[in-house]
Amino acid sequence: MQQKIKEIFQAKFDKEPILVYSPGRINLIGEHTDYNGGYVLPAAIDKKMVVAISKKGLNTCRLYSVDFKEEFAFEIESFSPKPNHWATYIMGVVAQLQQAGYPVSGFDMVFGGDIPVGAGLSSSAALECAVGYALSTLFDFDIPKISLVHYAQKAEHTFAGVQCGIMDQFASVMGKKDYAIRLDCRTLEFEYFPIELGDYQLMLIDTKVKHSLSESAYNTRREECEAGVKAAQRIDSSIRDLGDVSLDLLDRLDVSNTVKTRCKYVIEENQRVLDACEALSKGDLKAFGQNVFASHQGLSKEYEVSCKELDFLVDYAKNESGILGARMMGGGFGGCTINIVHITEVHRIKEAVSIKYQEKFGRTPEFHLVSPEDGSGRL
């Protein structure tokens, strides 16, 4: 892939580029905890976005997307978001660097990647992080990695109009081969935990479903969690978010059963992340997998952000001796399940799931084998 991107760059611009990359990410456990002051456990993966870049004397920036086979140009001194267009992510990062005082001048860029789009692996965050890293490298800005994370997140907020948390960009930049990152979303303190899978492999199964419920349900879940926090603050004014609320305190809150159930899921999921990290530290994959299964149970029955396709895949996994754990990954109502699958069983399970899923839903899922890799870097 990187060779192809380099050759396309040379053919288009007749010069040698700098090549950098930034990976997609998975989240092993810790879902919908990020905006509740909780923990997440992401890892960068071996699917990435590659950027070829070089300086251009003028103030024009020329872009080419290998995946979309499309060109785009903008003036460095005058540009604005282009809604629903891939160039928006690139221009958003340029705008953030300019606002931070970095003197970005004209450049030529070709980019592409092998991150499956729509599978919840954060291809847009990978592009933003790759662009930030590329500009920092090209112009010798030497931007600290944590600053690149913030610039990429702000680019998504201000240009793409998506109020995302920080997990995707953090994992893409800060990833470490064979490790997951336990990130405290409130303080941004983080710690690496080894992913020693031995005879097991991480496999994503893409439902190929995207329900329109996701955005409205996401907003509703946030409101329900905020209602729980406000009720808790009436009892204890030092509480900032659900990360400060215990199950004992939750029982005493004057809120609806629905709000209690949503908050219970978040509080328990936070604890599951801690328990899962302890299991990883001990190399106890079976205990880790049990926490992953329990996470899906909570997401499906308490937080209610699953769907019949996701539940079907996890129910299959529960009855499969070759799978140690499975759960939905991401915002919900579609996307992928993440599965811990025995290496010798991968082919058989793919075939069996494909047949059963086709019979049930009339479509074939997609499978992606992934492994934890390093974050943003130069090629």
Cite the annotated binding site for ATP by residue number.
Answer: 65, 118-124
Q: What is the CA radius of gyration of the chain?
A: 21
Q: CA 112, 59, 82: angle at the middle one, nearest 5?
A: 55
Query: How many other CB atoms are found less than 10 A from the CB of residue 312?
Result: 19
Task: For residue 110, give the 3-state DSSP assignment.
Answer: strand
Active site residue 178: no
* Known binding-site positions for Mg(2+): 124, 156
| Sequence ranges of the binding site for substrate | 31-34, 218
Task: Give the C-alpha separation, 315 to 305, whole Å.
Answer: 16
DSSP-H helix ranges across the chain: 2-13, 87-99, 123-138, 145-155, 167-174, 213-235, 247-251, 257-282, 285-301, 308-318, 346-361
Residues 6+ apart with CB under 8 A from 124: 89, 156, 160
Whether the CB-CB separation of 73 and 13 falls below 8 Å is answered with no
CA distance to 1, 3, 87, 89, 113, per residue, from 9 (Å): 12, 10, 17, 20, 14
In sequence order, which residues have a C-beta less than 8 Å from that of residue 159 and are 6 or more positions away?
81, 88, 89, 91, 92, 95
CA distance linking residue 273 with residue 238, whole number of Å:
24
Q: How far is it, in rounded angstroms, from Cα 323 to Cα 314?
A: 10
* φ/ψ of residue 11, rounded to 5: -65, -40
Q: What are the structure tokens assigned to 157, written together? A: 């907020």
Contacts of 237 (CB under 8 A, 6+ apart): none
DSSP label at residue 35: G
The active-site residue out of 168, 199, 251, 311 is 168
What does 265-292 look like in DSSP terms, one character per residue? HHHHHHHHHHHHHHHHHHT-HHHHHHHH
Give the residue numbers marked as catalytic.
Answer: 168
